[in-house]
Amino acid sequence: MCRYAFKVYKPHLACFGCRKSFRRRLRADVDPHGEEHVAVCPQCAVPMADLGLDFRAPPMSARKRWETIASLWRAGITFHSCGCSGPGWRPATPTALRAFLETRLRDAIEQRARWQDILPRGFEERLNRASAMASFTRQVVAIETELAQRGTKRSEREG
């Protein structure tokens, strides 16, 4: 049984501009019947990133680490897990980040190809295949976009 299954945890949100993380109050505690609102940073009012329960915020002064986390976020990679084994290794330096994103990209392309090869039997399998392929396509696009973005900021990656 997964650790997070026992209790509803408050999401770990982060503001990349302020380099701060916040735990959001659960809607059930505040306004159970209200609408779901986008969580904004209490300091700068920009929407925050929901990074997952395993996210541990670096100190505010660790600019590079925050930039790495923001880059992962833009590429669709967060710190969500079921609470048992953690989200797995995450890169901390720009060089490791690029290698990590490239590996993730290859994985996503492979997974998508695997799904493409499956011959679906029946409606439900067709639906599963379509949604899996759409999800891997989104991953591929997000990671490729982020890699391209980082490619143009070479000077920022060094030093």
Contacts to Zn ion by CB under 5 A:
15, 17-18, 41, 43-44
Of the pair 43, 93, the CB lying nearest Zn ion is at: 43
**Phi, psi torsion values for 59, nearest 5 degrees:** -60, 155
Residue 152 CB, shortest distance to Zn ion, in Å, is: 25
Residue 10 CB, shortest distance to Zn ion, in Å, is: 18
Query: In sequence order, what DSSP letters do the residues of 32-91 get, joined into one string?
Result: TTSPPPPPB-TTT-PBPEE--TT--PPPTT-HHHHHHHHHHHHTT------SSS-S----
Residue 6 CB, shortest distance to Zn ion, in Å, is: 31
Of the pair 41, 75, the CB lying nearest Zn ion is at: 41
Of the pair 11, 83, the CB lying nearest Zn ion is at: 11
